[in-house]
Structure 1
Amino acid sequence: MPRISAAQRRSDFIKAAVEVIAIYGIDGATTRRIAEQAQANLAMLHYCYDSKEDLFADVYEYVASRYRDVTEASDPHATLADTARQLLRAAMECYLESPSFTAATLELMSWARRQHGDRGIAVYDQALESMRAVLRGAGSDHPVEPETIDQIAYVIATLADGFAMNWFTYGDRSAATKQMETVVSVLDSWLAVRIGSTPATV
């Protein structure tokens, strides 16, 4: 049986921590439960991480990297309005793809804001800045003020967060899939007023 590297083990523990946090919350995310979820012994977890705080630091980075992946996957040649729609859809699809990621992210952000305010804010700031960078790159077809880019990023984040909370609360995949179109139509309406874009045809 091939030996599993420490890097792979750390990746396993991070993903296991997301699953455990989603089920038990931060307080219930013990190292023992995380090790069991990763199908590893507790000694291996402590070999990879000196403390649960160190593991959670990597979990935050994992969450931030998921948001970066979402923003970087957008079409660099799309218009500003189409890029905004792509970013919103991609964020909602990221949540819809993994109920555990959604639950764990909401739990982590809430906990971090209470315990380590700067850490929770930093993850959110990174996600917003990644979004703004993509929007700025797509703005050549429709030059806008930096303030407008900030507003578009804020609207996307707010709509995606509302979708995430609804999906987390009800867990109805069929309803959530339909609601994605409603959420995008709200963005379309706002973009039409703010930058004069034409709503996308479905």
Structure 2
Amino acid sequence: MTRMRAEARREALVGAAMRVVAEHGVSAATTRAIVAEAGMSLASFHYAFDSRDQLMVELVEHVIAQEERSIAPALENPSEAIGLREAIRGGLQYYFEALRADPLRETAMFELTHYAMRSAGMQRLARRQYASYYAMASHALAVASEQSGQGWRRPVAELAVLLVSLTDGLTMAWLVNRDDEAAAEIMDFAADAMAAFADPHPTSVPESGAPAQRITEPTNASRA
């Protein structure tokens, strides 16, 4: 029971830290501000964490896991076969709806990225964050290829970096302006830009999640 109480205390402090960071920035997320937000004593903080930096490390990991869980349903349950551009646009819309539903999470992620880049020994957290983003984007591009029966002209890992850059711009622009119409235009542009990298040759539509295979004409040798 003591172990469960300790875990619950850590979770409450992480949640409080995320709210403070999102609303006031990392610089305002002192241990006193965090425990006040959590409704705990300062002693409770030091019982759960050795330092503020340790809490920040756990906070980054927590928010990355949240991000992965929020996107997972769209990647695990793709819709029926559609065009590649439509698949990308639909994925962007799914992401945008998650952003609109919980803007504080994305605000906190930007704050934590800057904090990690500026803090000695914490840069690996920013790299960990973006490695997760690139992995999710790669998966999304693979799902779009499966849905559409089209492949990509460039390696998915390269295209994932472009897609993450586009979604970063979408996210920041919307957080600043809260303009849904402008966000829709950005998503249209992003879908068009990514679809421009589609392989014009069709791929076979895979079964049971198997990788798509490009359909090619038989060679002269195979015809003989």
Q: State TM-score, norm by structure 2.
A: 0.73
1:108 pairs with 2:112 = yes
Match of 2:176 among 169, 182, 188: 169
Count of residues in correspondence between the two structures: 189
Matches within 5 A, 1:45-84: 45-75=45-75, 76-78=77-79, 79=81, 81-84=85-88
136-145 vs 51-60, greater mean Cα deviation: 136-145
Match of 2:145 among 139, 151, 160: 139
Q: Deviations over 1:14-68 (max 9, x none)?
A: 1111111123322221111111111222222221112111111111111211221
Give the counterpart letter for 1:77 in structure 2.
Answer: P
Match of 1:94 among 85, 92, 98: 98
Cα distance in 2 between the residues matched to 1:77 and 1:96: 21
Q: Contact 1:88–1:156 (CA<8 Å) still a contact in 2?
A: no
Give the counterpart letter for 2:196 in structure 1.
Answer: V
Secondary structure (helix, strand or coil) at the match of 1:143 reads strand
1:182 pairs with 2:190 = no
Secondary structure (helix, strand or coil) at the match of 1:74 reads helix
Q: Tell me the residue number matched to 2:15.
A: 15
| Residue segments in structure 2 that go unaligned for 5+ positions in a row | 201-224
Q: Tell me the residue number matched to 1:160.
A: 167
Q: Tell me the residue number matched to 2:26.
A: 26
| Residue segments in structure 1 that go unaligned for 5+ positions in a row | 198-202
Q: State TM-score, norm by structure 1.
A: 0.80
Q: From the two aligned structures, give the one with the greater helix fraction.
A: 1
Q: Matched residues, percent identical?
A: 23
Deviation at 1:130, TM superposition (A): 2.4
Q: Tell me the residue number matched to 2:136.
A: 130
Cα distance in 2 between the residues matched to 1:100 and 1:192: 30
Give the counterpart letter for 1:143 in structure 2.
Answer: G
Give the counterpart letter for 2:102 in structure 1.
Answer: S
Give the counterpart letter for 1:72 in structure 2.
Answer: A
1:118 pairs with 2:124 = yes
Q: Contact 2:99–2:106 (CA<8 Å) still a contact in 1?
A: yes
Cα distance in 1 between the residues matched to 2:192 and 2:53: 43
Secondary structure (helix, strand or coil) at the match of 2:50 reads coil
Give the counterpart letter for 1:51 in structure 2.
Answer: S
Q: Contact 1:32–1:42 (CA<8 Å) still a contact in 2?
A: yes
Deviation at 1:125, TM superposition (A): 0.9
- Do the aligned partners of residues 168 and 184 (structure 1) sit closer, same or farther apart at CA in structure 2, a change above 3 Å counting? closer
Q: Contact 2:64–2:129 (CA<8 Å) still a contact in 1?
A: yes
Q: Contact 2:88–2:141 (CA<8 Å) still a contact in 1?
A: yes
- Do the aligned partners of residues 192 and 87 (structure 1) sit closer, same or farther apart at CA in structure 2, a change above 3 Å counting? closer
Q: From the two aligned structures, give the one with the greater strand fraction.
A: 2
RMSD: 2.4
